[in-house]
């Protein structure tokens, strides 16, 4: 596997359309929608702020995947939960090579660095992928065929890393 670099979308805006098209085709392509339904809010991720944020995995200069850190993932039953890991996408030719894991880890580190203690995500599938990365089920909505809300306490992980590092001193 080639070395994959993870960049903030604001630092590689030439990949904006690719990311928007991935998100649109994967989750938002419905009758009456256009790719603009994704592009409009995604433009905010190009600003010089830390939140919201989109990260892009690059193989040299070829986009391999992306992931977003957003305020709200539209779960009206849980309005107080924030922020959300959303729209993790890995291009088919890069799947099963660790790109998704790298994207999730970079997003978790970023969220922690800007002061968040918890992260949430919506999983309709791939629950075991996130479980293997330390995420846990928060709740399920809509019965057995519904969606799984997952949670990760990123502050606790940071504390554990800090504690074990200081114990070794």
Give the closest residue to 121 by CA, choosing from 89, 159, 95, 82.
Answer: 82
Q: What is the mean pLDDT of residues 31-49?
A: 93
pLDDT tens digits, one per residue of 132-155 = 999 999 999 986 668 899 999 998
How far apart (Å, rounded) are the C-alpha atoms in residues 17 and 23?
A: 10
Tens of pLDDT, residues 67-101: 999 999 988 899 999 999 999 999 999 999 999 99
**How do residues 151-160 score in pLDDT, each as one tens digit?**
999 986 554 4
As a whole number of Å, the end-to-end CA separation of the chain is 35
Task: Give the count of beta carbons closer than 10 Å to the beta carbon of residue 44.
Answer: 14
Q: Is the pLDDT of residue 63 over 80?
A: yes
pLDDT in the model for residue 125: 83
The token pair at 78 is 């849980």
Q: What is the pTM of this model?
A: 0.88
Residue 29 to residue 158: CA distance in whole angstroms: 38
Alpha-carbon distance of 156 to 42, in angstroms, equals 30
pLDDT at 149: 95
């Amino acid at each position: 596997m080639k070395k994959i670099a993870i960049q903030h979308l604001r630092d590689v805006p030439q990949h904006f359309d690719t990311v928007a098209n991935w998100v649109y085709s994967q989750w938002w392509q419905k009758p009456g929608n256009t790719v603009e339904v994704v592009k409009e809010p995604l433009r905010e991720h190009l600003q010089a702020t830390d939140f919201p944020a989109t990260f892009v995995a690059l193989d040299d200069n070829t986009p391999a995947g992306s992931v977003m850190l957003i305020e709200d993932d539209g779960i009206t039953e849980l309005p107080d939960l924030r922020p959300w890991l959303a729209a993790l996408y890995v291009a088919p030719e890069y799947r099963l090579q660790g790109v998704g894991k790298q994207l999730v880890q970079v997003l978790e580190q970023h969220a922690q660095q800007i002061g968040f203690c918890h992260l949430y995500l919506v999983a309709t599938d791939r629950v075991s992928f996130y479980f293997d990365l330390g995420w846990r089920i928060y709740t399920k909505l809509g019965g057995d065929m519904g969606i799984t809300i997952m949670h990760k306490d990123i502050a606790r992980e940071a504390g554990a890393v800090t504690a074990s590092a200081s114990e070794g001193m």
